Structure 1
Amino acid sequence: MNTLENNAFFWQKLDTLYLSSKLIVDRPKGTCHYKYSNLVYPVDYGYLNDTTGSDQAPIDVFRGSVKSNLIQAVVVSADILKKDCEVKLLVGCSEEEERKILEFLNQTEFQKAILVRRGKEVPEWAVND
C-alpha cells in the first residue's frame, strides 16, 4: 500500500480554490521573514484572499517563476513553537524552486515540512464521488 493515496479530485478542488480567489503577494521573492531576518523567501509568497486555512488565516501560497495556474504540490509543515501544522500551496514552481522552498521551511529545528506533488490517480473508493 502507498503511504500516500493521491486523488485527482483533491487537486481539482485546490485548483478551484486558487482560480476563484485573488492571490495577494505580501512577501516577494528575496524578502526577509518579518520575525526572523535570516529567513529569506526563495519565491513570491502570499495568500488567497477570502479563504481560510487550518490556522484560521487565509490559505498560503508559494508562487514560482513558471507560468501556470494549477496547484502542482502542497507543503505540509509542523511547527513546535506555534504548536500547529499548516498546508501551503505551490503554483508555478520549478524543481529548483521546490527544493529551495523545502530548504526554507526546514532550516530551523522548530519547524519541518514535507512536499506532496500533484497526482493524477483516482482511488477506487473515490470514483463515485
Structure 2
Amino acid sequence: MSSAAFWRSLDTLVAESKIVIDRARDTPHPRYSDFIYPFDYGYLQGTLSNDGSGIDIWRGTMPDTQVTAVIVNVDLEKRDSEIKVLIGCTPEEQQTILHVHEDGAQSALLIVRKPSS
C-alpha cells in the first residue's frame, strides 16, 4: 500500500464515521484534574482500536476534516500501544499533541501527512 492510499483510507474512516468528542478543549481529564485537554479529543464511532473502543482522534482548529497526521504511542504503564488520528491540526497543534503523548511512561511518534497525499 502506498502512503497516499494509507491517508485516503484514514480519510474514508473519518468520513464514514461519526466523530464523538467526549473530552472538549480546555476541560480537565476526568481522573487527572491537572491535565487540561489542549484540543478536542474523542473517537470515531463504529470503529475499533486495540483497546476495544473506537479509534482515538484529536480535532484541531482547522475547519476541514482531513486527516493531517497520526500519532503512534506506547504506554509502558498500561503496557499498550495505540494510534491517535489527528484531524484538522496545524503543525503547531500536532507538536502540542505529540508532547501530550510523550509524558511519563509514554513515548510517541508523529507521522505527518505530506501536502500532496
TM-score, L = length of structure 2: 0.91
Moved more, 13-22 or 29-38: 29-38
The residue number in structure 1 matching 2:79 is 83
Taking the aligned partners of 1:23 and 1:31, their CA distance within structure 2 comes to: 18
CA distance in 2, matches of 1:13, 1:6: 11
| Structure 1 gaps, min length 5 | 122-129
Superposed structure 1 runs of 4+ greater than 4 Å apart? none
Structure ranking higher on relative contact order (CA contacts 8 Å, 6+ apart): 1
Residue identity (%): 41
Instruction: Tell me which amino acid in the other structure corresponds to 2:6.
Output: F
1:71-98 Cα deviation digits (max 9, x unpaired)? 1100011001110000010011112211
Cα RMSD between the aligned structures?
Answer: 1.6
TM alignment of 1:1-129, pairs within 5 A: 7-107=3-103, 109-119=104-114, 120=116
CA distance in 2, matches of 1:58, 1:22: 10
What is the distance in 2 between the residues matched to 1:7 and 1:102?
21
Query: Does the aligned pair in 2 maintain the 1:31–1:40 contact within 8 Å?
Result: yes
Q: Which structure is higher in strand share?
A: 2
How far has the Cα of 1:6 moved from its partner? Answer: 6.2
Aligned partner letter, 2:62: V
Q: Is the 8 A contact 1:33 1:39 kept in 2?
A: yes
Letter matched to residue 116 of structure 1:
I
Query: Could you tell me how far apart the structure 2 residues matched to 1:100 and 1:47 are?
Result: 19
Distance 1:58 1:89, change over 3 A: same
| Structure 1 residue 100, shift from structure 2 partner | 1.2
Pairs aligned (count): 116
After TM superposition, the score normalised by the length of structure 1 is 0.83
CA shift digits 1:28-78 (9 cap, x unpaired):
111112222222111000111111012221001000110112111000110
AA aligned opposite 1:44: D
